[in-house]
Amino acid sequence: MAISPSIITGSHVLKHRHGMSGMESSDGEEYTYQDESGEEDVGGVESQEEEEEYSYSDGEGGCAPVPLPPPSSSMADGCKVIDADELRATMSALIDDISSVLAIHPCAAAALLRHYNWNKESVIDSFCTDPDQAKEKAGIMRFVPDLQTSDKGRLCGICREDVPAEALVALGCGHFFCRGCFTQYLVSKVEEGMGCPLTRCPEYRCPEMVTENFFRVLVPHATLAAYLRYSLKSFVDICSAFRWCPGRGCDFVAMGNSSLRACLCKCGMLFCFRCGEEAHVPASCEDMVTWVEKCKNESETANWILANTRKCPKCATRIEKNQGCNHMTCRQCKFEFCWICMGPWTEHGANTGGYYKCNKYDPSTPTKDEQDGAKAKAELDRYLHYYQRYDNHHKAQEYATKQEEEIERRMMRLQETDGSRWIDVQFLKVANEKLVECRRVLKYTYVFGYYLPEGTARKRLFEHHQENLEKFTEHLSWLSEQSLEEFKKEEKRSEVVNYTRVTETFLKNLLKSVEDGLMDEDGEDMEEGGWEGKSEPGRRAGAAGGGQVGEAAEEGRRTLPSRDGAGGGARARRSGVARA
Amino acid sequence: MADTDMELWPQEDNIRLWHAIIQGPGETPFEGGTFELRIEVGTDYPIRPPVIRFVTHIFHPNIHFETGEICLDILKKEWSPAWSLQTACRAVVALLAAPDAESPLNCDAGNMLRGGDVRAYNAMARLYTVEYGSATRRG
């Protein structure tokens, strides 16, 4: 691509806005944060927060705010994390079960289970229907628990030597080989790796399976250990009820089912049970596959463009930002704009009083460049919009994760300076954990959003949730980074505690909304649950008139349980007003 | 040696490197041709399979035209230690008579067969057999 960068330096003192404060803070820039008074949305936030406080007080006998342990993530429910020993016990139990039900040797039971993908029902089914066929398929037709010995000397099929009877061994199939060759064969199978639990007799196309007992008798200790590891590994890989934790160097295994979207491991890793990647709600596994593939393909171009250049939104000159703040002035046309959203800078000041919605993608702005405004280009711009925000949240998530140690230090210091108890300073940790979670979800909302069709009521509702969560996450991020001096004040602590809760409510609202309402195309195919039906008129209205997103959101929220519902409704009304 | 249609011998200075001359099976476009194979026998043979390549150019979907690499399950996953070099060579001869267009190393040959154009495949295979298929034992 032909790019002639004209280098421009930002020349104004940067005032970070909600939209990006968390991301910027990681590059070490100094910044001051201040709520822009008169901003309707922020005003709304304050009052909502009061509502939240009241409702929590009601629920907890009027002793709010109390720093509570982190609310357990409802997403991680229904998932049990076990270690290798427990896993081995589970596997043995299953084998023993089949062994006693079908009255066969455990080794034969294991071979059957392996053949039928560890599905107990289909093992029993097939075995009861036609035991011979099941045995044949599983390679245990002529199963014997121990090595066969020969009654006379023979030629070993592998080394072609004449071997005396006592040095010959065979499986139940009676293909004799000398002990040394057989052992070598088994060792080489284990060295080959993964497939070794399915080793068959060395004779060409002999279906007889080499079961665990033979490995135990023949191979050296270290090889046997490797065999058992592979055996366990294939058990987990095949069983859909298990999933290895993808965390680095983590040996834990999660037990659950594929409807689980998120599973929390003992090592702290939160991952998707279905695909084994980091938990990516609200985006689906399929979206993630396409997204990751896309990012890989576009990454070179995208990264270079993102890292180095932007077009001036007015005259389309390519601009490389090499230093300074986000307030840019184009050298060509003197247009002043924001480097993050590329909107005119005049919309960013306190004097306009408008909260700038940086999370929204407006297809009309980047396609102004009609000269080479090919569709592909618009698509790349659209992708970049989502990728950039995805990437920003990703970095912010990493930053917040790295902060964990620092937070511990801050908690210690806070305890030392004003004699707070351990429980009193927990709020910092809780807030940071919530931040990490929100960053992760926000990151994936941009994958979800990218694949959500433009211009639909669903998308508007989703972006509304996204915007709320983003706004509160940024504010919480700023709040929890304040100096320790600030946290000596009780009201500051309560603010963090409350914001943590409010942010969590927004997080839940977003996820719940995606789970329930956004999943169906414009209100069609709605069958289950009364609320979806009720909310339909509201959504239809939202689809018809662009200004009624608030109303639609409100309808959706009414269905949320108790206090969340009440607070959410009020919130939605406010934001509806704020936008009108 | 039992097979009259096959010659198999080790290189004089290296017992781990063998050579074979096989004959194209009858009723195939390879009929009448002779092809040289190069057989590397590893230290772990016969636990692990030998590495066999065509030295003579041959037009066949499962044999790489330039490198002579062979795609045959019994030389990879399905290898049995009870096999010998002779049985392995016999399997290669059998492969010449039974090409598998689904896993092609020579895509042109594979596409002809998959497209059902057996005449074109036979003609090409015949052409190369006449052109190259006259290997003889050296040394």
Q: What is the 3-state secondary structure (H, E, C) of A70-123?
A: CCCCHHHCCCEEECHHHHHHHHHHHHHHHHHHHCCCHHHHHHHHHHCCCCHHHH
Which residues in chain B are closer than 8 Å to A202, comparing Cβ atoms? Answer: 80-82
Whether B16 and B40 have beta carbons less than 8 Å apart is answered as: yes
Chain-chain contact of A158 with B78 (C-beta, under 8 angstroms): no
On the CB side of A442, CA atoms within 13 Å amount to: 34
Which residues in chain B are closer than 8 Å to A177, comparing Cβ atoms? Answer: 81-82
Catalytic residue among A156, A173, A325, A330: A325
CA A569, CA A563: separation in Å to the nearest integer? 10
- Supply the pLDDT for residue B25: 92
Chain-chain contact of A181 with B44 (C-beta, under 8 angstroms): no
CB pairs under 8 A between A and B: 32
CA A347, CA A361: separation in Å to the nearest integer? 16
Return the number of other C-beta atoms located less than 10 Å from residue B82's C-beta.
21
Report the chain A residue with the minimal C-alpha distance to residue B47. Answer: A185
- Measured between CB atoms, does B40 come within 8 Å of chain A? no
Closest CA to A139 of A77, A81, A87, A210: A210
Alpha-carbon gap: B45 to the closest alpha carbon of chain A (Å): 9
Closest CA to A302 of A18, A1, A78, A39: A1
- Supply the pLDDT for residue A22: 38
- Supply the pLDDT for residue A299: 62
- Supply the pLDDT for residue A519: 54
**What DSSP line would sit under A166-179, residue for residue?**
GGEEE-TT---EEH
- What is the signed CA dihedral for B114, B120, B122, B124, rounded to 10 degrees? -110
Whether A530 and A543 have beta carbons less than 8 Å apart is answered as: no
Peptide bond into B46 cis (omega under 30): yes
**Which amino acid appears at position A352 of this protein?**
T
Pairwise pLDDT comparison (B47 vs A550), residue with the higher score: B47
Pairwise pLDDT comparison (A580 vs B102), residue with the higher score: B102
- Class of residue B116 by CB neighbours under 10 A (exposed 0-12, middle 13-18, buried 19+): exposed
**Domain range annotation of chain B:** 6-132
CA A571, CA A554: separation in Å to the nearest integer? 8
Alpha-carbon gap: B24 to the closest alpha carbon of chain A (Å): 25
CA B71, CA B52: separation in Å to the nearest integer? 10
B71 has catalytic annotation: yes
Is residue A400 helix, strand or coil? Answer: helix
Q: What is the pLDDT along chain A (580 residues), one digit of tens a residue?
A: 434 434 343 333 333 333 333 333 334 333 333 443 444 443 334 444 444 333 333 333 333 333 333 333 434 457 788 888 888 999 999 999 999 999 999 999 999 999 998 888 999 999 999 999 999 989 998 898 888 888 888 889 898 889 998 899 999 998 999 999 999 999 999 998 888 998 999 998 899 999 899 999 999 999 999 999 999 888 888 887 888 888 888 888 888 877 777 888 888 888 888 888 888 888 888 888 888 888 877 765 665 665 566 777 777 666 776 554 556 677 777 787 776 677 776 666 544 333 344 444 455 544 444 444 456 667 777 888 888 899 889 988 888 888 888 888 888 888 888 777 888 888 888 999 999 999 999 999 999 998 888 888 888 889 988 998 998 898 888 888 888 888 888 888 888 999 999 999 999 989 888 888 675 444 443 333 333 333 333 333 333 333 333 333 333 333 333 333 333 333 333 333 333 2
- Which letter does DSSP use for residue B99 in this model? -
Alpha-carbon gap: A202 to the closest alpha carbon of chain B (Å): 5
Helix (H) or strand (E) holding A434: helix A426-450
Which residues in chain A are closer than 8 Å to B46, comparing Cβ atoms? Answer: 158-159
The pTM score is 0.58
Phi, psi torsion values for B22, nearest 5 degrees: -110, 155
- Supply the pLDDT for residue A327: 63
Chain-chain contact of A185 with B83 (C-beta, under 8 angstroms): no
Which residues in chain A are closer than 8 Å to B80, comparing Cβ atoms? Answer: 202-206
Alpha-carbon gap: B135 to the closest alpha carbon of chain A (Å): 31
| Contacts of A231 by beta carbon, 8 Å cutoff, 6+ apart | A196, A197, A212
Which residues in chain B are closer than 8 Å to A203, comparing Cβ atoms? Answer: 80, 82
- Measured between CB atoms, does B48 come within 8 Å of chain A? yes
Give contacts of B 74-113 with A, CB under 8 A.
74, 78, 80-84
Four-way CATH pick for A354-579: 3.40.50.720, 1.20.120.1750, 3.40.50.300, 3.40.50.970 = 1.20.120.1750
**Which amino acid appears at position A505 of this protein?**
T
Is residue B137 helix, strand or coil? Answer: coil
CA A98, CA A290: separation in Å to the nearest integer? 41
Does the ipTM exceed 0.90? no
Catalytic residue among B71, B74, B91, B101: B71
pLDDT tens-digit profile of A103-128? 999 999 999 999 998 888 999 999 99
Chain-chain contact of B47 with A185 (C-beta, under 8 angstroms): yes
Return the number of other C-beta atoms located less than 10 Å from residue A248's C-beta.
7
**Which amino acid appears at position A68 of this protein?**
L
Mutate to test the interface with A, among B75, B80, B86, B90 (most CBs of A within 10 A): B80
Alpha-carbon gap: B62 to the closest alpha carbon of chain A (Å): 21
Four-way CATH pick for A86-237: 1.10.3720.10, 1.10.10.10, 3.40.630.10, 3.30.40.10 = 3.30.40.10
| Contacts of B115 by beta carbon, 8 Å cutoff, 6+ apart | none
Four-way CATH pick for B6-132: 3.10.110.10, 3.40.50.150, 3.40.30.10, 3.30.9.10 = 3.10.110.10
- Supply the pLDDT for residue B21: 94
**Domain range annotation of chain A:** 86-237, 354-579
